[in-house]
Chain A
Amino acid sequence: MPSATLLGQAVVSGLLAGGLYGLLALGLSLSWGLLRLVNLAHFALALLGAYLTYQLGTALHLSPWVAAIVLVPAFFGLGIALHLLFARFRVTEFTSLLVTFGIAVILESVIQWFWTADYRRYETPYASASFKLGPVFVPLLELFACLTAATLALATWAWLRFTYVGKALRAAAEDPAIAGAFGVDHRRHALLLSGLSAAYAGAAGTFIALIATLAPSQIWAWLGVVFAVVIIGGLGNPVGALLAGFLIGMSESITMAVVAPAWAPLVSFSILIGLLIFRPERV
């Protein structure tokens, strides 16, 4: 049995890592839940954002925060462009899996072509900055990523809950024809939501660049665990995605501390399978 300090450290690290899971899950959950598009390219977009942050920082010496101010709006536009493509070819929930898988493979190749398959590490002065909370280390960057995820999740929740556009999006997710009969222009809203989802991928990318070691194949490393987070959190539910991120992040890091790192995926997928067995109506 590990010491209390080690456990405490595992809880904090897990929470912080979970924030990044939540941030990645957010955009995916929105497009899946509200547009019925399963966007496998979401991870590729996030990693592209990470590489671009890295490139702007190393080649142009642009601070990652300035890079984010450029990248997030650019990704918003990219998301709209992608959705126009999906709408043009009448992509459905099922075919979206195939199409976005293809886009993910293409983006992986593009990343590999520009940056090679070598591992890249973006060194920044604050990469190792942390403070001590009692005996536990809290890395600043990961804390900031976590706070950003929480802010975006809550803001998105409030937007969906309280604005007419948000209500229209939820209504159209359930019955687009009837929502249309009351004046909801779902195609315009879908573009907005796709842009937002890609912008979230861009924001996640900035943090991935700062926190993780970059390699093109990272796209697939995120896939399983973030899918679990999206489903556990409930499709189209931003706060659910955030909380599920915390849950999976913590269960992984506690498993790593108590048992062994290799067991971590088993625990997160057991949670997912348990949920699908006992609460299937949530999916």
Chain B
Amino acid sequence: MLEVRELSIAYGGAPAVWDVSLDVGAGELVAVIGPNGAGKSTLVNTIAGLHRPRAGVIRCAGVELGALPSHRVCRHGIALVPEGRRLFTRMTVEENLEIGCYRDEARAERAAGLERVYGLFPILRERRRQLAGSLSGGQQQMVAIGRAMMARPRLLLLDEPSLGLAPAVVDAMFAIIRAIHDEGVAILLVEQNVIRALDIANRAYVLEEGRIVAGGAPDALRRESRIREAYLGVAN
């Protein structure tokens, strides 16, 4: 589905990501974990077309994305739930969702898409005429995920979906992520909640200072002493 090869990204002049290679198979859920400032957001934003890579290859279903103008990237089945949600706060909930299905192919399925999103998040149906900026943090995160789902993605990029949410809302959010994954959508999940991320992922990569330092099945990563100390708070 997604192949990233030897990707380097410079952000604001300074190099942020070095020589990163990773894969997400069709229908797979892959987590990227690592400390703040490791370059996780830069990595997913670049895959979504927000930044140009400095070197390397991003390929989705065989199509090279790195050189495309950003508004073309979504045609290849990629949708982004950005860090901090970045909703269009002065537009209504439903208008935010409609921007999600802006690309031609998705626009034809607007009604079905709205039904699907309102099915996942019934509260959004009630709030659909409300300004997105007036919603609670959890509801805004639902709109951000809904907006991305409206694009009919085959690969969903989720950047810190649980950041700043109350624990009960975090549980609900992970249940939704699992439900979307069960529908067959591949997911690349960036998450600071390492325990939850490793619980849900098929595979995971550890990104530190812009480089991938470890990767593999969650169980294998959980057994590595360095990861237990740094991310899971377990003393050896």
Contact = CB atoms under 8 A, between A and B. Distances in A.
B88 A183 contact: no
A183 B74 contact: yes
Interface class of chain A by DSSP: helix
Contacts of A180: 49-50, 70-71
B91 interface: yes
B103 A183 contact: yes
A235 B50 CA distance: 27
Interface in B77-120: 79-80, 82, 86, 88-91, 95-96, 98-100, 102-103, 107
Choose among A175, A178, A186 the residue with the greatest number of B CB atoms under 10 Å from its CB. Answer: A178
B99 A171 contact: yes
A167 B93 CA distance: 12
A148 to B, nearest CB: 28
B217 to A, nearest CB: 30
Interface string B155-173: 0000000000000000000
B151 interface: yes
A164 interface: yes
Contacts of B107: 164
A123 interface: no
B52 interface: no
A182 B100 contact: yes
B44 to A, nearest CB: 11
A174 B90 contact: yes
A168 B70 contact: no
Nearest to A185: B71
A176 B50 CA distance: 10
Contacts of B9: none
Assign chain B's interface to a size class.
Answer: 20 to 34
Contacts of B17: none
A181 B147 contact: no
Contacts of A179: 88, 99, 102
B103 A171 contact: no
Given A164-B107, A167-B91, A182 B50 contact: no
B75 interface: yes
A258 interface: no
A164 B102 contact: yes
Interface string A152-176: 0000000000001001101100110
Nearest to A167: B95
A180 B49 CA distance: 8
A140 to B, nearest CB: 39
Given A170-B91, A183-B74, A183-B75, A178 B86 contact: yes
A245 B147 CA distance: 37
B127 to A, nearest CB: 18
Contact of B86 (A167, A168, A175): A175
Contacts of B99: 167-168, 171, 179, 182, 184
Interface in A120-155: none
A278 to B, nearest CB: 20
Contact of A184 (B82, B96, B102): B102
Given A164-B98, A171-B99, A181 B80 contact: yes
B7 interface: no
B65 to A, nearest CB: 12
A69 interface: no
Contacts of B95: 167, 170-171
Contact of A174 (B71, B75, B82, B88): B88
B151 A182 contact: yes
A158 to B, nearest CB: 14
Interface in A18-74: none
B212 interface: no
A87 interface: no
A240 to B, nearest CB: 13
Contacts of B100: 182
Nearest to A165: B102
A182 B79 contact: yes
12 contacts: A167-B98, A170-B88, A171-B95, A171-B96, A177-B50, A178-B86, A181-B50, A181-B71, A182-B100, A182-B151, A184-B99, A185-B69
Interface of A: 164, 167-168, 170-171, 174-175, 177-186
* 9 closest Cβ pairs, A-B complex: A183-B103, A180-B70, A171-B88, A185-B71, A183-B102, A180-B71, A183-B74, A171-B99, A178-B86
Given A174-B90, A181-B49, A181-B71, 9 more contacts: A171-B99, A174-B91, A175-B86, A175-B88, A178-B80, A178-B86, A180-B70, A182-B74, A184-B102
